[in-house]
Structure 1
Amino acid sequence: MARRSSLESLEEQLRCPVCLEVFSEPLMLQCGHSYCRGCVRSIDMDPLGQLQCPVCRCAVDGDSPPPNVALARIVDALREINEPGQGPPETCNQHHNPLSLYCEEDQTLICGLCGSIGSHRAHKVTPISSVYSRMKEDISCLMTNFQTQKRKLEEQICKMAYNKSRITNESDVLKWVVRKEFGELRHCVELEEASFMQKVENTASTLIASIQTQADHMSQLLAKFQEAEGTLEALSNEGHLDFITKYGSIAPRFRESQQREQRKERTYSSISFNPGFNHSDIKMTVWKRLHRRVLPAPECLKFDSLTAHPMLQLSEDNTSVQCGVLVNRLPNNPERFSYSYCVLANRGFSSGKHYWEVQVGEKPKWRLGLIKGTACRKSKLPKSPEGGVWLIGLKEGRLYEAFSTPRVTLPLMSQPHRLGVFLNYERGELTFYNADSPDELGFIYSYQAELQGKVYPLFDVCWQERGANKLPISLPHPLTEAYGD
């Protein structure tokens, strides 16, 4: 009874989901589900040869699904056990004895006489009960493996569905971000376009109004000349007596008017249309202004008093620093610079994009940039990327240089009073700009570095040169200043 119940349970597991009969020539789809060959052929396919799995609804290739060999063997074994008339006979055809043994070599059921005196006497034989237990265990293992593979496939399909859903959601979010960012860029470009158009229209209207004023005045003068010409022509047609009589009152008046206009020399010179920019500069100007807009918001930095050299004097709010003349009595903590007249910002960076600005004014000598947090501060500053320091600077009030290897002289056309520094940590980019203009940034120099660990904005005030270099370096507060629209 228990055996029959187990076989019925096994049979239920081996039914096709479409026809609900025991599998016949089972085929396995790409999604992992199996169906009878005839059932697969009955499922409609689209023009691309794809069909939809009735269980998981996935679209799979329906042209040539492979046979599920393991499942077919299990079905065949079940049929051999269950189907009456098709299984092996219960008695030996030769000796008519009960089939009690199994020949391992020929893989067939035999009786005791077949195994002792018959054709199987030299073969390895096993009692049916042992063979049955072994085969049942094998079938059970096959079923377990089949079910395990089925669960794994179902888990993979679920993962794929989740992954597909996640990608869809992430792509929707990214598309929203792209639309938002490009919308802001378009708005910025539209503002720049409106600004350029306003300049063109204002310049054109001013020039046209000026020309129109001159044209109106000359038209009035022309009307006077035409009137005078008509009067003189009428006088010329008078008789001798009338001509002589009227001449004295007309000719002198017109002669005086004519001489007065000749003295004014009313000669019109063509006016050139110059709106203050060249059409070839529009793209570059807009790009520079957009560059200013798309940078991260300026960091709100202050100087870190714990790192300042003992001769540096910091303002009360730690936003301005200059080199003094006396050494301050300060603790010689590990963070403090002991040799170079330097100070760090109160914030370091180990990831992300950051932008900050520094006011150097008319100071004739300074250096600023970035330093690794592990760089030595108790000896002379290693002014090179190899020493973990990336700097640009000014000396003698006129010579700008980048402290790369070798050093590079920077041919700046104008002296920047405010500098912008942009750090892209992940890409290892450190870029310096002339930030004097609130609308655009002028490129100065860029470093490419492999950054690891925390890095800090560095400010080298330099020796005060007996007062010649006493001007401070300051950190503008971004919240109190305008940085573009």
Structure 2
Amino acid sequence: MAEPGAVAGLEELLTCPICLGVYRDPLSLVCGHSFCKACVQEARSLRPGPFTCPLCSACADPAMELQPNVQLRSIVQKFLEAVAHQEEGEREGQCEEEGENSGQGDKVIPCDFCLQEPQPAVKTCLSCEASLCQAHLSKHSTKSLLKDHVLIEPSDAHLLAERRCPQHGKLLECYCRTDSVCICVLCCVTSPHREHTIDTLEEAFGQVQSVFPETLEAVKEHEAALNQSIANLLKQEEEVKAKESLLRYQLESLFKEMCLQLDNKKREVLKALTLNEEQQLSQIQMEVQKHKEERDAASCDVQELEALRDQKDLLLFMKSFAVIRARKRKELANKDGVELPRPPIILDKLTTDTTLRLFRQFLSDMQSLFEVPPVQEHLTSSTHLGTTVAYNTNIVSAPPSSYVHFEWTPGSLNPSGAISHVKSNQSFSQGCHFWEVDTSNARCWKLGIVNRNLECYLQKSHDSLCVFLGQTMITAKGFSTALKVVRVELDCRRNTLSFYNASVEDRDAAESLGLLETVSIPSNYPAYAIFGVLDGSLKLL
């Protein structure tokens, strides 16, 4: 397509000087100028006498017949076609832009019977397969033979094809209720639909209208449920991001505090080493100074004795020798150096290995703290849904999320004062596990573990809490506050059993768990969870 600037320049060259329009049947004069045929004829009729060129006033031979400029005429025709093509493209682009901007509006279907300027169709006849404007629809409706034709909203060829059976080419006028599909009349008698329940489209439409509101309401409810589910997922996503951000901040603070304490300990140890070094060097320097002074005194005695060797006077010799000999000289210890204070740190191979071993143990313990223990994975169900185990008023029940089978011993105080218990039917021997029990409906209870050799449990009786390891009472203390939820945590790696007060509501952080007691247990596995109640009931959360 030609550029707009080039088209405008070419149009200027193809403009008739008389009518100022694009050449129409251009003619050329002997001077070389061209004009429209009609313009030349009109100019000749208006000017009496010899005809001259309207531009250069050159005389034109009246006897000579004006010849058409065939080449210029071809150029003009090509130019007009290019302009028409460009205007059509601009109109199409404008229509597409208007359609995109509106985003709505039905497609205009032209009338199939209009010859010059097709008018928009108002109906489409399925029998004639033609679209009709209002004028042709009036003529179509007045003909008695065409009154029975089916009229629908204006449709194009694609929509008309969808209304016909792809197998028989007939109109889809029936509805198969068995297959829930629209079919033609021939499909009812010649296809697999022959034995099906068939209705007309009008009958099917009437039947569907009765269930349409219910279906619409069900779809709306499903849409609302999906929106709510999406909202919940987005909320959960934000919560995950917030918790992750908080956890990251807590971990960074933890490691920062650990690094700070490690740096402080490093500075403390290095300062102690520096101070010990200064003390040792000071003591050595003092001894060196003292020895230098004694050495200088000994050097003087040597010089005096060397000079006294040449003394001839016996009296003077004896007096001087007696004075030099009487001077006190400390005997030096038979060792090198002096006894120095003990250094604050002895870093030998044993100390290094011990420190590294303790540090690796610290890292291992820290890693176990970061690992999330599986909740109640050792408590599994082998009973029917909702089953509880009971003996008189002593009930141990499990929530729907974790139904538990127990071996039952009647609730009573045994000779040692402990409450009899039930235990889980599945054991555990490794990893870290915890479970939480609602004790708000029990006055006397016990929770813990049991293995082949002994029991370890927390027992509450009235207002006292006692922790037992076998027959030995580890701790006993008063506890007047009601224990609503107790958390029992077993760490098979470190061989510890811990009891927590988990009664704080809406707890998220570890600080909300109050440690009651931690007991070191023998590594005799497998072990089982035990639950005992004397008055009331326990509920596994």
Give the TM-score normalised by structure 1. 0.38
Query: Which structure would you say has the larger Rg?
Result: 2
Give the TM-score normalised by structure 2. 0.35
